[in-house]
Structure 1
Amino acid sequence: MKMSRRGWNNIIIFAVASMILIFKYVELNNQQSESEQQLAGQLLPQGATILRIELPELVIERVGTQWRSEPPTERSIAVIDAWLHITLEPWQNALGGAASSQGVHIYLANSAAPIELTLFELGQQRWLTNWQGQLLSLDEDSYHALFPTTSL
């Protein structure tokens, strides 16, 4: 059976359109998996706007365009920035029952209920759950950035 020139043109157009769709689908899946990997160690959702953070020994809240902390600290903005941008390593092992825990509540602009995170401590080691409930290992520098001392 012989095909006309118009028939061959239609087949070529269909084949090219199919290839474009396949490449876009593969690219979209790769971007989603990369973004999921990047968010794996994030404490809060991407693009979150913090209104209030209730740490074990410090509360920082937004008042207009300023930040107020109780007890007062000079590093309120640095603490907020750390909570938004620090990336921690996922922890795959189980924690022992002897680990003590403290709650952290973070109120976001787009959510009525706070995000509840948990800080676990066992000796000198610390872990923190993120907004997805994933357990993350907390090194000493990150701990001091997220949980500052309250003395001036």
Structure 2
Amino acid sequence: MIRLGRTGWNNVIIFAMLIMIFLFNGLHHKIMSSSEEAVQSLLPANSTVLTYQYSDFKIERIGTSWRTNKQLNLDIELLDLNWRQATGEVIPVVDEKSLVLASVELNIAGYDRSLVFDVFTTPDGCFVDDNQARRLKLDKQTCNQLFPTTEF
């Protein structure tokens, strides 16, 4: 048994408490960050999309309204809302050649480069690759909302 005086035992207790605080604080941040990193938004936070360029049509923001280059049978305001709220589960990018079903290019206010999203499907679900080296897994409903002219 270790023979310590009163101040010695006080120091042991203080250091033990500090170690516990650092341990619990580190676990808390690790648990919270891992759950946040698993699901990410497709678009940057608080971004305003100026143009949606699909393969067969284009939608442009003109002030507070929208203009298209062809007659569309969809709610453009809802499409914009779906893009701003869309999230997906981040999965590792594997160097595999996938058949791209659809592609869309988004011009965002304040960004020099446009964001390009390629969507493809596998038996497991719908995946979106962007030009930021991310692959996000989306559910079928979200894919149908973001790419309205493509069947999944």
Q: Distance in 2 between matches of 1:31 and 1:129?
A: 25
Post-superposition shift, 1:29? 1.0
1:70 and 2:68 are equivalent in the alignment: yes
What TM-score results when the alignment is normalised by the length of structure 2? 0.66
1:49 and 2:50 are equivalent in the alignment: no
Aligned length: 140
Deviations 1:75-102 (A, max 9, x none): 2221112112234576999666xx3554
Aligned equivalent of 2:104 = 104
Moved over 6 A (4+): 89-93
Structure 2: tracts of 5 or more residues without a match: none
Residues 61 and 134 from structure 1, CA distance in 2 versus in 1: closer, same or farther, beyond 3 angstroms? Answer: same
Aligned equivalent of 1:8 = 9
Q: Distance in 2 between matches of 1:82 and 1:115?
A: 16
Q: Distance in 2 between matches of 1:132 and 1:83?
A: 19
Structure 1: tracts of 5 or more residues without a match: none
Identity of aligned residues (%): 23
2:43 alignment partner AA: L
Q: Distance in 2 between matches of 1:44 and 1:36?
A: 15
Post-superposition shift, 1:61? 3.9
Aligned partner of residue 118 in structure 1, secondary structure: strand
Residues 8 and 121 from structure 1, CA distance in 2 versus in 1: closer, same or farther, beyond 3 angstroms? Answer: closer
1:117 alignment partner AA: F
Deviations 1:26-54 (A, max 9, x none): 11111111112222xx4334x25132222
- 1:1-152 residue pairs with structure 2 within 5 A? 2-39=3-40, 42-45=41-44, 47-52=45-50, 53-64=52-63, 66-71=64-69, 75-87=75-87, 99=99, 101-109=101-109, 111-120=111-120, 127-130=127-130, 132-134=133-135, 136=137, 139=140, 141-148=141-148
Of structures 1 and 2, the one scoring higher in RCO (CA 8 A, sep 6+) is: 1
Asked whether the 8 Å contact 2:93–2:135 carries over to 1, the reply is no
Asked whether the 8 Å contact 2:93–2:133 carries over to 1, the reply is no
- What's the RMSD between the two structures over aligned residues? 3.6
Q: Distance in 2 between matches of 1:133 and 1:146?
A: 17
Aligned partner of residue 113 in structure 1, secondary structure: coil
What TM-score results when the alignment is normalised by the length of structure 1? 0.66
